[in-house]
Structure 1
Amino acid sequence: MEYRGYDSAGIALLNGELNVYKKKGKVSDLQAFIADKDTHSHIGMGHTRWATHGEPNDSNAHPHYSSSGRIAIIHNGIIENYASLKTLLQSKGFTFYSDTDTEVFINLIEDIQNENGCTLEEAVRLALHEVVGAYAIVVLSKEEPNQLIAARKGSPLVIGVGKDEFFLASDATPIIEYTNEVVYVNDYEIAVIKDGKLNIKTREDVPTTPYIQTLQMELDSIEKGGYEHFMLKEIFEQPRSIHDSMRGRLIAANNHLIMGGFREYENKFINAKRIIIVACGTSWHAGLVAEYLIEDLARIPVEVEYASEFRYRNPVITEGDIVIAISQSGETADTLAAIELAKSKGATIFGICNVVGSSIARASDAGAYTHAGPEIGVASTKAFTAQVTVLTLLAMIIGSKRGTIEDSKLRQLMIELENIPAKVEKALELNEKIVEISEEFKDAPNCLYLGRGYNFPVALEGALKLKEISYIHAEGYPAAEMKHGPIALIDENMPVIVIATRDSSYEKIVSNIQEVKARKGRIIAIVTEGDQVIPAMAEYVIEVPETSEFLTPLVSVIPLQLLSYHIAVMRGCNVDQPRNLAKSVTVE
């Protein structure tokens, strides 16, 4: 699970004794620490931590012992009422050695077992009624050496079913090497693996039948394949991932345009008075592109919301609304909570995510998978273009069904979209040129990204990529907004990346470039091949293939991804695991 982003790691192994070894830093630091330790065991658990409660250090790393040292726990998520529980447990004589909410959780389980004289399984079940928040936990006991107990609410948990063996993880990626059969644990379920058998019950102690799914994921898709970093590999996989996201849904020659998840709710989309898109981070940027697409092609009002804000501001939602939830992992905590809120108000949920069987996929009424394949790099690249591809298809289908897009225009757009993988391939040929530009700007302390129309979300995404992996402060703006404040920042030291492809805003963005140039800003322009005007104004020009204005983001974002990647590498940054970030944000 290293790819998710983490700051400490630890393992608990049972071999007569319950031994916990943990260390701040990377798994390699843990490996060095346990090099001379006895790590013989037939049962164990490990954890890579992304700090929430307590700074990253050895003490706060997982796993955590209970006060007696009899049981240990690993935990993803946040226990919101940990402080009151901790005070109660301290009054009963429990001692704490960390600042985490997780240590409170395991001591609560031990306290319940002591008070009730019950089994560990029962103590876990009762403890789950006491904690408020999100969790995916695994509990291991010295006294029951053939048992693992796991449970989830809000945070993902998947169980791999092998031959006489089981694997538990936050997603299926690390399991695929050992088995392609998995069980996705649902909220409020408890899984008990004991004496070679798997049993699942609800928190109310009602047995359920595990549903075993067979994964199609290939092992080579989660390996670097000769690339220096996963991020670079994933950038170069985009011609294929975009194609795969269209495959079976679009065949221009046959006028074939279809999306399986759309059919059952076709009338809802046709009659929708409003579409609300909820997402976080890069997925939110894909949602902004979709706002332009759906309003242009389907003529339905669209609102794009940060899921983290949407869920807390008492939004007005009606039964006629459609909520499109976008998430790479399908496990984003804020987006899941936004879905729950929207469902409670009667809205129809259409989920777009990349992980089959994920929580958002299961919580949605309908939806579409992006087929980007596993994305290991923490900074999202191919997931963004796959999301935009699926959202483009969706906008085209809605527009077609509503009669808001002419047949000739739709047909032309279908042909253009089919050609996008080849144009992305051509944009990737700019890699060497972008290396040269990166060398020039790698030491810049700040950067400004400007775009208009469909390229405004691309400016936001380009700025996010740069700050995520290179730690350079960067901001994206609509180019016309520059003179309402950001222009004050521009001087001879400020790199300004302008996405200026030839579209309906072209003349306007040429004027914006002139405004930057007049203030001696250093201009890097992303332009359409053959542009004769902007190269005379910009210090550096990156030409991308011409395409329909509706599809521009799929091409114009490619050089921005490469620019961020190369600058980060030149600055010595950990590109695949940038500091403080996690791949799948399963906590609030």
Structure 2
Amino acid sequence: MCGIVGAIADRDVVPVLIEGLKRLEYRGYDSAGIAIVGPGAADQGAEASADVRRVRRTGRVAEMESAAASEAFSAGLGIGHTRWATHGGVTEHNAHPHISHGVALVHNGIIENHEAQRERLRALGYSFESQTDTEVIAHLIHHYLTQGDDLLQALQRAVKELEGAYALAVVSRQEPDRMVCARMGCPLLVGLGEGENFIASDVSAIIQATRRVIFLEEGDTAEVTREGVRVFAADDVEVKRDVHVSDVSLASLELGPYRHFMQKEIHEQPRAIADTIEAIMDCGGFSPELFGADAAHVLRNIDGLQILACGTSYYAGLTARYWFEAMTGLPCTVEIASEYRYRKVVANPNQLIVTISQSGETLDTMEALKYAKSLGHDKTLSICNVPESAIPRASRLVFYTRAGAEIGVASTKAFTTQLVALFALTATVAKAQGKLSPEQEAELLDALRHLPGSVQHALNLEPQVAVWSERFAPKQHALFLGRGIHYPIALEGALKLKEISYIHAEAYPAGELKHGPLALVDAEMPVVVIAPNDSLLEKVKSNIQEVRARGGEMYVFTDADSHFSESEGVHVIRTPRHVGILSPIVHAIPVQLLAYHAALARGTDVDKPRNLAKSVTVE
């Protein structure tokens, strides 16, 4: 959940580090820091030791940038970090980089055996200034340097003693012409330039300098100099890793005319959905080729689906369950990845295990996938937005959504494109198993073609939703209701509202209202209802009457053809004509807009909500 960037060049790398950290700030923004190595650094007032200078600040990267400028930071080698706090509070002492006797280090992840290592290192004479697990690694590397190892060897020995997950970047005053790095469980890549090279936890951090990247694999260590890169596998044997050319565009990382990235990404959904659908059309429809070379054999022979995901991706999975069981006649279970990995599971190797992750690096989802594979599941499929990320690489089959870079912490376009991907998977399985006729396939493809237009129509409701948000701003609590396939959209709406506006919100199946939540309803508890014109509409209307009888204020998202009328205490916004089976995707739009505008009205930091970060690479 933190961000790493490093650079070595014949030019000043400080601007590269700071620009990279700004692009990584969505991964963590409790504190930020950089460390540089270069001749004469000690003469310029080094903070820790000769030739190593460091600046750290709590808060945003901009505060650290100002401090670095005031201290005239400049060097050809450096590392940087933006932090989401795990071990230890949000203080400057806990901020990265950490330094041990001229060794500077930044770290993403969690070291599970840090307490035992801390006691061992204290016995060796090391003292600690922070509460972090990271400082242990810096001391451990220095310990091996004192035994005659060079920096790479010291790193390789140190990581063999670490338990947990990490991405590490290390520099040392003793070796000012290289940096070294390591990866286990957390993403890390190397960027290749001309006479300069880079490391980062995300390609967005270095895209201004290079598009050529090497994705390090589990257990890899690497040595990075101005002249080149050497990569070593877990057994410390040098290996070759493929070079990839990133297709991330700088434009996708810029805010443009929007106030926030969340707003930008909400409005990018018609294009993102259309691009994801294009992949389906390019394959001539619901073809197994969408998911991989051997997908035809796999999908034809599965007898059920097990979806593993977290947060918003979990709600996408809950929606897909309705589609999958209705269209294929096969069972589908959906489980929170962090729960699945810690219980004794009754394995069914004929199930398809589907993992969903925007980043492809969600730790709990990755570990759940590993656990499933350890139980004998070899039919695995990943739905992901980031090519070459960890979870797709560990999966037999993969579908990449085409949402583009998503910077806002609250997921929007990733969610709707995941739904498109899950719908395509459902239809493909149904077709592969002889349960989808050519006529039915044609109807579903036609519905997909019209989906981006329907989403755009839903976006056009923004002014009406913004008016509602002013009423929500002073509230402290809200309820969201939905029935059937729209219940997960109510869950997603509640999540969005609470994570960026800090209004406590909960979602329930509308039929469950009278089994407890109705006790909370009064004039100060707004109730949002997802009420499309489907077979459950009349049931939802009855639930609305239950709320009105208790003085509750209703905010109803319905369809143009639902014959819903406003009345005292019942406010109605009509989305486009009911789009049938794809209705959940369209109804996701207004709840996203409601959350966004409520947050605006309350003055919260929309893109960087407190206590959260974009990529969850820790437990």
What TM-score range do you get, normalising by the shorter chain?
A: over 0.9
Question: After superposition, what is the alpha-carbon deviation per residue over 1:265-296, rounded to whole angstroms, capped at 9, x for unaligned?
Answer: 32332222221100000000011111111111
**TM-score normalised by length of structure 1:** 0.97
Shift of 1:197: 1.4
Partner of 2:99: 65
2:46 is aligned with 1:14 = no
Aligned partner letter, 1:219 = L
Q: CA RMSD in A?
A: 1.5
Opposite residue 284 of structure 1, the aligned amino acid is Y
Cα distance, 1:176–1:313 mapped onto 2, change above 3 Å: same
From 341, 346, 356, the counterpart of 1:311: 341
Check whether the contact 1:517–1:537 (CA below 8 A) recurs between aligned residues: no
- Conserved? CA contact 2:198–2:206, under 8 Å: yes
Task: State the shift of 1:410 in Å.
Answer: 3.1
Structure 2: segments with no counterpart, 5+ residues: 1-23, 40-50
Per the alignment, residue 346 of structure 1 pairs with: 376
What is the CA distance between 1:259 and its match in structure 2?
4.3
1:144 matched to 2:178: no
Q: For 1:299, give the aligned amino acid.
A: G
Output the CA distance in 2 between the equivalents of 1:274 and 1:248. Answer: 25
1:411 and 2:442 are equivalent in the alignment:
yes
Question: Shift of residue 342 of structure 1?
Answer: 1.1
What letter is aligned with 2:383?
Answer: I
Instruction: Decide whether aligned partners of structure 1 residues 257 and 274 sit closer, same or farther in structure 2, where only a CA change above 3 A counts.
Output: closer
**Contact 2:218-2:234 at 8 Å conserved across structures:** no
**Which amino acid in the other structure matches residue 552 of structure 2?**
G
- Tell me the CA shift for residue 93 of structure 1: 1.0
The one of 418, 424, 432 aligned to 1:393 = 424
Corresponding letter in the other structure for 1:109:
I
Q: 2:73 maps to what in 1?
A: 39
Do 1:525 and 1:538's aligned partners in 2 also have CA atoms closer than 8 Å?
no
Q: Which residue of 2 aligns with 1:24?
A: 58
Aligned to 2:167, what secondary structure does the other structure show? Answer: strand
The one of 122, 125, 137 equivalent to 1:105 is 137
- Cα offset, 1:397, TM superposition: 1.1
Deviation, structure 1 residue 80: 0.2
Tell me which residue corresponds to 2:127. 95
- CA distance in 2: counterparts of 1:3 and 1:273, whole angstroms: 40
Q: How far apart are the structure 1 equivalents of 2:84 and 2:196?
A: 28
CA distance in 1, matches of 2:285, 2:320: 22
* Deviations 1:87-132 (CA, angstroms, capped at 9, x unpaired): 1111111010000000011111111222x32112111101111010
User: Which position in structure 2 is the counterpart of 1:333?
Assistant: 363
Question: Do residues 420 (structure 1) and 440 (structure 2) align?
Answer: no
Aligned to 1:437: 468
The match for 1:452 among 454, 461, 483 is 483
Separation (CA, whole Å) in 1 of partners of 2:287 and 2:295: 16
| Structure 1 CA distance for aligned equivalents of residues 608 and 28 of structure 2 | 5
2:406 aligns with 375
SS at match of 2:176: coil
Give 1:407 shift: 3.9
Relative to structure 2, which stretch is displaced further, 193-202 or 136-145?
193-202
TM-score, structure 2 normalization: 0.92
Measure, in 2, the Cα distance between the counterparts of 1:208 and 1:374.
Answer: 30
- The corresponding residue for 2:18 is none
Deviating more after overlay: 577-586 vs 541-550:
541-550
- Shift in CA distance, 14/476, structure 1 to aligned 2, threshold 3 Å: same
Cα deviation digits, residues 447-470 of structure 1 (max 9, x gap): 100001111000000000011101
Aligned to 1:279: 309
Q: Does 1:218 align with 2:249?
A: yes
Alignment of 1:144-543 (within 5 A): 144-250=175-281, 259-262=289-292, 264-347=294-377, 348-536=379-567, 539-543=570-574
8 Å CA contact 1:128–1:203 kept in 2: the answer is no
| 1:212-262 CA-partner distances (Å, limit 9, x unpaired) | 00112211011112101110000000000001111031379x766564225
Question: Residue 214 of structure 2 contacts residue 244 of structure 2 at CA under 8 Å; is this kept in 1?
Answer: yes
What amino acid is the match of 1:24?
T
Measure the CA separation in 2 of the matches of 1:423 and 1:55.
Answer: 46
Indicate if the aligned counterparts of 2:28 and 2:613 stay in contact, CA closer than 8 A. yes
**Does the Cα contact within 8 Å between 1:446 and 1:474 map onto a contact in 2?**
yes
1:535–1:251 CA distance, 2 compared to 1 (3 A): farther
For 1:61 and 1:35, locate their aligned partners in 2 and report how far apart those are by CA, in whole Å.
Answer: 19
Q: In 2, are the aligned partners of 1:259 and 1:368 still within 8 Å (CA)? A: no
Go from structure 1 to structure 2 and tell me whether the alpha carbon gap of 1:54 and 1:587 turns closer, same or farther (over 3 Å shift). Answer: same
Aligned residues: 584
Aligned to 2:606: 575
Q: 1:187, CA displacement in angstroms?
A: 0.8
Q: Which moved more, 1:277-286 or 1:259-268?
A: 259-268
**Hey, what's the Cα distance between the residues in 1 that align with 2:33 and 2:144?**
26
Structure 1, unpaired ranges of 5+: none
Aligned counterparts, 1:42-57, within 5 A:
42-57=76-91
The 8 Å contact of residues 272 and 321 in structure 1, kept in 2 or not, is answered as: yes
> 2: CA distance between counterparts of 1:434 and 1:223?
26
Secondary structure of the residue that 2:231 maps to in structure 1?
A: strand
> How much does 1:517 deviate?
1.0
Contact 1:454 1:549 in 2 (8 A): no
State the SS of the aligned residue for 1:277: strand
CA distance 1:393–1:256, shift in 2 (3 Å): closer
Amino acid at match of 1:344: S
Cα contact 1:268–1:320 (8 A) shared by 2? no
Distance 1:409 1:542 in 2: 31
CA gap of 1:547–1:159, structure 2 versus 1, over 3 A, is farther
- Distance in structure 2 (CA, Å) of the matches to 1:223 and 1:262: 32
Q: Which amino acid aligns with 2:366?
A: L
Provide, for residues 543-577 of structure 1, a one-character-per-residue CA deviation record: whole Å limited to 9, x for no partner.
Answer: 11124432111100101101100110111111011
Q: Counterpart of 1:316 in 2: which secondary structure?
A: coil
